[in-house]
Amino acid sequence: MKQNLALFDLDNTLLAGDSDYNWSLFLISEGLLDAKRHHERNEQFYQDYKNGNLDIYKFLEFQLKPLSQHSVAFLDELHLKYMDKVIRPMMTQKAQDLVNKHKAQGDLCLVITATNSFVTKPIATAYGIDHLIGTDPEMVDGKYTGAVSGVPSFQAGKVTRINQWLAERGQSLNDFTTSYFYSDSHNDLPLMKLVTNPVAVDADETLMKYAKQKEWPQISLR
């Protein structure tokens, strides 16, 4: 039997909230970032993302810099606290049920997110999803540099990254008779247009209109 492919966006899709935006707020609450300066910039970047005009490289410079200021061991400890305090309350039963349904069908499941893989890998794991494509922070000599490695998995970058990932497995999108992509954001339209079964999840206004026009399914995981 041929395997199907199930792709999941993370922020505001599987999660009832945004792990990237909240990571900055969490670092502020832990006293690790200057509250006023970082909160204002975080808000602006989040607004740009929602408006579809985010400069991904400027954002990543802002978002990845704190990783370069601490050891990996310290960051891993910090992330455990972040998971318990911030992320687990955002994980919905409906989202878990959807993931479980695809896993039970034997589908190849993958989280594909613009948020960096340091923040998102433990979240994908918590949902029971083994595969993750996130924006990869660069590491040199076992330490984060604050730079990005490779293509950010944002907008058309998600198409590039999924094609690369599948090629490494000796596969392509066309190998799957059925491919799903669940997302809330119009930023994900480049990839949504390529799968056989795009699904709008708690969609933003732009995606909602587009999904309606194309008669794509619209669901809520809240």
Catalytic annotation, residues: 9, 11
15 phi/psi in degrees, rounded to 5: -100, 140
Hey, what are 100's tokens? 């479980």
Asked whether the beta carbons of 90 and 15 are under 8 A apart, the reply is yes
Contacts of 105 (CB under 8 A, 6+ apart): 4
Of 94, 42, 48, 84, residue with least CA distance to 220: 94
Hey, what are 215's tokens? 């008669």
Q: Give the bridge partners for 198, in sequence order.
A: 181
Of 12, 22, 7, residue with least CA distance to 203: 12
Per residue, the 3-state secondary structure of 147-203, as one string, reads EEECCCCCCHHHHHHHHHHHHHCCCCHHHCCCEEEEECCHHHHHHHCCCCEEEEECC
